[in-house]
Amino acid sequence: MPPVTPGSESSAALIAAIAAGDRDAFSRFYDLTAPMAFGLIRRVLRDPEAAADVLQEVFWQVWQDASRYDPTRGSPEAWLVTRAKTRAIDRLRSMRRRDRTFAAPVDESVAPRREEPAQNPAVVAEDKSLVQTALAQLPEAQRRVIELAFFEGLTQSEIATRLGEPLGTVKTRARLGLDRLRGVLGGERLSAT
Amino acid sequence: MNRDEIGELAAAYALGGLEGEDLARFEALLEAGDQDAVRALRECGDTLVGLAAAAPEPPPPGVKAALMERIAAAPAARPSAPSEAVRPLPRRRPRALWPVVLSGAMAAGLAAVVVGWSVSSTYEKRLDALARDAEQLRAELRGQQAVIAILRDPATQVVALAGLPPAPAARARMMWHAKAGGVFVATGLPAPPEGKAYQLWAIAGGNAPVSAGVFTVDASGTGSLAVRPLPGVSTVNAFAVTLEPAGGLAAPSGDMYLLGRS
């Protein structure tokens, strides 16, 4: 697996070439970043076929929208990660809606929402040890906020409602959690490569 | 705005959960090229890239092939094509199969409409059935509550009725409350002949019997009747059951099957 260096010259140059219609650049960018994007999508979506579909959609968007990439907002990888995550969560929601329509919606109002804990992707994802290790080093409260936001796509006020915490607390925890994660992942990457 | 606050906005923005006024504020900062905001967002974005990159997974080989084919098939559509109008993904050989893909997509769309319609009509039927069940249960509950209210009231008369020669084994019980009405239960009665039914009578003092309703019995000889308050009847001296024409009569005419005095 080639190491991903966010914001490296090469990925920024590749995006610029893709924007100019360079297919080889697209092919190289795909090889460089698709495993990362697919790992993330699979974390949100367990269904491998749906995940493959989303991966294709995301990279099709990369091809079409490369000219809109704005380097001041972050690295090409960060741009890709945001798109992959957003698309995967959109798909997850539409699958849940469909499942609810075809299951027993009449019972939903009385039955406890039993699927919630099981669908916490951070819990069910198998063998994502490095992510687990990184997240595990966060205090539980910070970890939950990051998981709910990043892997389940909840907004901050939705997270506040879900956890029964004030909005200000959720905001602070998201920032502290990311700060901490940055430190943890920095160390991990050094030791892993 | 202090740096902590900018850090919070950037974290939420990168995680995708920023909304409303906060989102507008942060986008304004980015538009204005605020260095703290830009730096904070970059850091957060790179952290999330690090998180994603920590668990890479090899993508299925077909995805890249499909993408490259798609790109080769539609170079002219790029880069002016609107990004949000992402079409359903043709899985293989999109160029040669466009008509098939399009008609397939239309068929899928139609199928979705039909399935959606049939699902919703199925659920409408289910909801109707449940509403009817609920109404029936509520009616039963009201009946039971009325019975319990009658039983609990000390003013309620309980009258036992005994079988007369046409049905000596028959027994019945009347719980009677002048204002609330009453509940009558009989057992051991023979099934009435075709076109006939049992009629319950309330006899108060020297007045003529007043009809309290008509009932029939099931195969085991059991029948029951909910009796409404009878106009002009308060304390009842006796209840009687006679066999009458199916709809009942204004005054008893047939054989008496049960009689009980209070």
Digit-coded pLDDT (tens) for B163-218: 999 999 999 999 888 888 888 999 999 999 989 999 999 998 888 899 999 999 98
pLDDT value at residue A187: 57
Q: Is residue B254 part of a domain?
A: yes
pLDDT value at residue B98: 64
Average confidence (pLDDT) over B29-52: 90
One domain, residues B125 and B178: no
One domain, residues B9 and B79: no
Count Cβ atoms below 10 Å from residue B200 Cβ, excluding itself: 26
Q: In what order do the strands lie in the sheet with B171-177?
A: B210-215, B196-203, B238-245, B256-261, B157-163, B171-177, B181-187, B223-227
Contacts of B14 in chain A (CB under 8 A): 74, 78, 82, 178
Q: Is residue B102 part of a domain?
A: no
Q: Read off the pLDDT band of B148 (50, 70, 90).
A: confident
Q: Chain A: residue nearest B44 by CA?
A: A178
Final residue belonging to a domain, choices B36, B53, B70 = B53
One domain, residues B148 and B189: no
One domain, residues B88 and B126: no
Q: Is residue B84 part of a domain?
A: yes
CA dist., res. B249 & res. B236, Å (int): 20
One domain, residues B229 and B257: yes
One domain, residues B173 and B193: yes
For residue A5, give the amino acid letter: T
One domain, residues B38 and B68: no
Q: Is residue B209 part of a domain?
A: yes
Residue B141 vs residue B82, higher pLDDT:
B141
Structurally, chain B folds into a number of domains equal to: 4
Enumerate residues 94 to 123 of chain B having a beta carbon within 8 A of any beta carbon in chain A.
119, 123
Using the beta-carbon criterion (under 8 Å), do B12 and A157 form an inter-chain contact?
A: no
Range(s) of the domain holding residue B140: 112-152
- Under a CB-based contact definition with an 8 Å cutoff, are residues A38 and A55 in contact? yes
User: Is residue B9 predicted with pLDDT exceeding 70?
Assistant: yes
Using the beta-carbon criterion (under 8 Å), do B46 and A7 form an inter-chain contact?
A: yes
- Taken in order of first residue, the domains within chain A and their CATH numbers are 1-111 (1.10.1740.10), 113-193 (1.10.10.10)
Q: Is residue B105 part of a domain?
A: no
One domain, residues B234 and B168: yes
Using the beta-carbon criterion (under 8 Å), do B12 and A156 form an inter-chain contact?
A: yes
User: Is residue B10 predicted with pLDDT exceeding 90?
Assistant: yes
Using the beta-carbon criterion (under 8 Å), do B45 and A73 form an inter-chain contact?
A: yes
CA dist., res. A102 & res. B75, Å (int): 40
Residue B55, C-beta contacts closer than 8 angstroms, at least 6 positions apart? A39, A40, A43, A125, A128, A130, A131
Q: Is B132 exposed, middle or buried (0-12, 13-18, 19+ CB in 10 A)?
A: exposed
Enumerate residues 105 to 144 of chain A having a beta carbon within 8 A of any beta carbon in chain B.
105-106, 125, 128, 130-131, 134-135
Q: Enter the tokens of residue B133.
A: 């069940």
Q: Is the ipTM of this complex over 0.95?
A: no
Sign of the C-alpha dihedral computed for residues A104, A109, A110 and A112 taken in this order: positive
- For the ranges A124-133, A179-188, B75-84, B233-242, which has the lowest average pLDDT? B75-84
Residue ranges of chain A whose pLDDT lies below 70:
1-9, 99-130, 187-193
Contacts of A21 in chain B (CB under 8 A): 75, 78-79
Q: Is residue B145 part of a domain?
A: yes
Q: Is residue B226 part of a domain?
A: yes
Q: Is residue B135 part of a domain?
A: yes
CA dist., res. B198 & res. B213, Å (int): 9
Nearest to B184 by CA among B155, B150, B207, B138: B150
Using the beta-carbon criterion (under 8 Å), do B17 and A155 form an inter-chain contact?
A: yes
Q: Could you tell me which residues are beta bridge partners of residue B215? A: B198
Mean pLDDT of chain B: 83
CA dist., res. A109 & res. A126, Å (int): 32
Enumerate residues 118 to 177 of chain B having a beta carbon within 8 A of any beta carbon in chain A.
119, 123, 126-127, 130
Residue B122 vs residue A144, higher pLDDT:
A144
